């Protein structure tokens, strides 16, 4: 559809992507890009938007030609505001009464350029009632076929949908992206979307059917005073002002993850294939914060196995270094030479085993 304040050039069809990320002024001031992110993490330019106050239609088309972009569709800006909630609301009065309300959009949205935050649906932790919902016991199959997002657990306020392809269910938590029906046709859903974007609403709650429960006398977590729902079926997830589970909230690293996906795709396009290996190594070594590593897709730590041969060599070197230190204190030149020769003789063995250890660190194999 055409947009009010931007000329839109669709470069790729949006249907081939799982997420989108907009970067304003990416090429230069007034030229914005919507990146499409694929399932494998690669990204590419899905569409380009031109600020109508900085570019005429002719200038926008010339820029596309000069930069070798061949749009599937080009739509000039209409100059007319879409009807939706936004930061700027103007009441129009006629004869002292409100006759019309026009809503000027905060920012026009391209097809696919949707606000898609990530939420923690639930976690294996105590809620306000002393109960526990075991994350791994959730049956999400029916919800994935109809991923409803409500406000306040009311089906009357069906405000959006979850994104089943982004669900991450572990023993500890269930996370997923979601998006809102916020194109302006549903004013209430648009209002909730804006409140989430601005941080006024940041928590969620699940509606579910409990299939199997265990009593508090058989606690799943420390401090449990209510039942534990060990098997359950997810019906819906709601945006709520106050959740039963405090930790069920919008995840702070969602934007970082999207930025990283775009960056990773650009890095691969430039021919550098080692980024994932480096990040995996940093995550496994604890150099990257656990939560951030998890959302970047490198949160599964693997145990690092040091080959016994290398461990023996390192132990031998450590012992010889201790001997050298003692020999130096005793001013025994003969002992120092003997120990240093011993270290020198193992140099080839050390290098071979260090290469083997590097294989364990980067690839999990020898």
**Residue 76 forms part of a structural domain:** yes
CB count, 10 Å around CB of 24?
12
Buried b (16+ CB within 10 A) or exposed e, 26-43: eeeebbbbbbbbeeebbb
Give Cβ neighbours of residue 266 (< 8 Å, ≥ 6 apart): 43
- Residue 165 is predicted with a pLDDT of 87
- Residue 197 is predicted with a pLDDT of 86
- Residue 285 is predicted with a pLDDT of 63
- Residue 260 is predicted with a pLDDT of 66
- Residue 341 is predicted with a pLDDT of 66
Label the pairing between strands 173-180 and 168-169: antiparallel
Judgement on whether residues 132 and 216 belong to the same structural domain of the protein: yes
**Residue 350 forms part of a structural domain:** yes
Judgement on whether residues 328 and 357 belong to the same structural domain of the protein: yes
**Residue 46 forms part of a structural domain:** yes
- Residue 88 is predicted with a pLDDT of 30
**Residue 70 forms part of a structural domain:** yes
Per-residue three-class SS string for the chain: CCCCCEEEEECCCHHHCCEEEEEEEEEECCEEEEEEECCCCCEEEEEEEEECCCCCHHHHHHHHHHCCCCCCEEECCCCCCCCCCCCEEEEEEECCEEEEEEEECCCCCCCCCCCCCEEEEEECCECCCCCEECHHHEECHHHHHCCEEEECCEEEEEEEEECHHHCEECCCEEEEEEEECCCCCCHHHHHHHHHHHHCCCCEEEEEEEEEEEECCCCCCCCCCCCCEEEEEEEEEEEEECCCCCCCCEECCCHHHHHHHHHHHHHHHHCCCCCHHHHHHHHHHCCCCCHHHHHHCCCCCCCCCCCCHHHHHHHHHHHHHHHHHHHHHHCCCHHHHHHHHHHHHHCHHHHHHHHHHHHHHHHHCCC
Number of residues that make up the chain: 366
Give Cβ neighbours of residue 181 (< 8 Å, ≥ 6 apart): 158, 159, 160, 161, 189, 190
Judgement on whether residues 285 and 352 belong to the same structural domain of the protein: no
- Residue 121 is predicted with a pLDDT of 95
- Residue 229 is predicted with a pLDDT of 94
Judgement on whether residues 285 and 338 belong to the same structural domain of the protein: no
- Residue 182 is predicted with a pLDDT of 84
How many distinct structural domains can be found in the chain? Answer: 4
For residue 344, give its domain range.
308-363
- Residue 186 is predicted with a pLDDT of 85
Judgement on whether residues 10 and 90 belong to the same structural domain of the protein: yes
Domain boundary among 48, 77, 104: 104
Domain boundary among 47, 71, 104: 104
Judgement on whether residues 279 and 205 belong to the same structural domain of the protein: no
**Residue 303 forms part of a structural domain:** no
Judgement on whether residues 124 and 228 belong to the same structural domain of the protein: yes
Judgement on whether residues 92 and 180 belong to the same structural domain of the protein: no
Q: Does the CA dihedral 212-249-256-1 come out positive or negative?
A: positive
Give Cβ neighbours of residue 175 (< 8 Å, ≥ 6 apart): 118, 119, 120, 121, 166, 167, 168, 251
Q: Rounded to an integer, what distance in angstroms lies between the CA atom of residue 185 and that of residue 20? A: 22
Domain boundary among 73, 104, 135: 104
| Cα 254–chain centre separation | 4
Q: Taking each helix axis from N to C terminus, what angle separates 275-284 and 254-269, rounded to the nearest 10 degrees?
A: 140
Judgement on whether residues 126 and 171 belong to the same structural domain of the protein: yes
Judgement on whether residues 205 and 97 belong to the same structural domain of the protein: no
pLDDT, one tens digit for every residue, the chain (366 residues):
567 788 989 998 877 887 777 888 889 999 999 888 887 777 889 899 999 999 999 999 999 999 999 998 888 887 643 333 332 333 333 233 323 323 333 333 434 457 888 899 999 999 999 999 999 999 999 999 999 999 999 888 999 999 998 898 998 899 998 999 887 778 899 899 989 988 899 999 999 999 999 998 999 998 999 999 999 999 999 999 999 999 999 987 555 565 666 666 666 666 666 666 666 666 666 665 665 566 555 554 444 444 455 556 566 666 666 766 666 666 667 766 766 666 565 555 555 555 655 555 555 444
- CA angle 298/303/309 to nearest 5° reads 135
Tell me the two tokens of residue 225: 């005073």
- In DSSP terms, 240 is beta-bridged to 203
Cβ 122 vs Cβ 162: under 8 Å:
no
Of 362, 360, 358, 359, nearest in space to 283 by CA: 362
Q: Let me know if 9 is exposed, middle or buried by CB neighbors in 10 A (0-12, 13-18, 19+).
A: buried
Judgement on whether residues 193 and 154 belong to the same structural domain of the protein: yes
- Residue 309 is predicted with a pLDDT of 53
**Residue 247 forms part of a structural domain:** no
- In DSSP terms, 37 is beta-bridged to 19, 43
Judgement on whether residues 320 and 266 belong to the same structural domain of the protein: no
């Amino acid at each position: 559809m055409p947009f009010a304040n931007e000329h839109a050039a669709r470069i790729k069809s949006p249907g081939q992507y799982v997420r989108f990320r907009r970067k304003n002024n990416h090429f230069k001031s007034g030229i914005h890009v919507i990146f499409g992110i694929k399932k494998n993490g690669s990204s590419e330019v899905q569409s380009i938007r031109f600020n109508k106050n900085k570019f005429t239609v002719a200038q926008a088309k010339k820029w596309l030609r000069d930069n070798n972009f061949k749009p599937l569709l080009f739509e000039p800006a209409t100059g007319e505001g879409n009807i939706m909630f936004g930061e700027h609301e103007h009441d129009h009065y006629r004869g002292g009464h409100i006759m019309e309300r026009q809503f000027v959009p905060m920012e026009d949205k391209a097809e696919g350029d949707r606000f898609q935050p990530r939420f923690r649906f639930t976690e294996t932790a105590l809620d306000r009632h002393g109960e526990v919902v075991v994350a791994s016991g959730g049956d999400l199959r029916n919800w994935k076929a109809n991923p409803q997002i409500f406000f306040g657990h009311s089906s009357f306020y069906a405000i959006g949908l979850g994104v089943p392809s982004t669900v991450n269910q572990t023993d500890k938590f269930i996370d997923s992206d979601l998006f809102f029906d916020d194109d302006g046709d549903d004013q209430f859903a648009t209002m909730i979307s804006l409140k989430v974007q601005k941080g006024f609403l940041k928590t969620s709650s699940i509606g579910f059917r409990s299939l199997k429960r265990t009593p508090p006398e058989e606690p799943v977590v420390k401090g449990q005073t209510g039942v534990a729902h060990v098997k359950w079926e997810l019906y819906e997830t709601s945006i709520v002002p106050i959740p039963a589970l405090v930790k069920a909230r919008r995840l702070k690293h969602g934007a970082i993850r999207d930025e990283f996906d775009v960056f990773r795709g650009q890095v691969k396009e430039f021919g550098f294939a080692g980024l994932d290996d480096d990040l995996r190594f940093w995550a496994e070594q604890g150099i990257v914060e656990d939560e951030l590593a998890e959302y970047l897709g490198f949160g599964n730590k693997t145990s690092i196995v040091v080959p016994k041969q290398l461990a023996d060599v390192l132990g031998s070197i450590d012992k010889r270094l201790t001997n050298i230190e003692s020999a130096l204190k005793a001013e025994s030149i003969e002992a120092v030479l003997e120990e240093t020769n011993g270290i020198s003789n193992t140099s080839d063995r050390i290098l071979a085993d260090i290469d083997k250890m590097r294989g364990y660190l980067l690839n999990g194999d020898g």
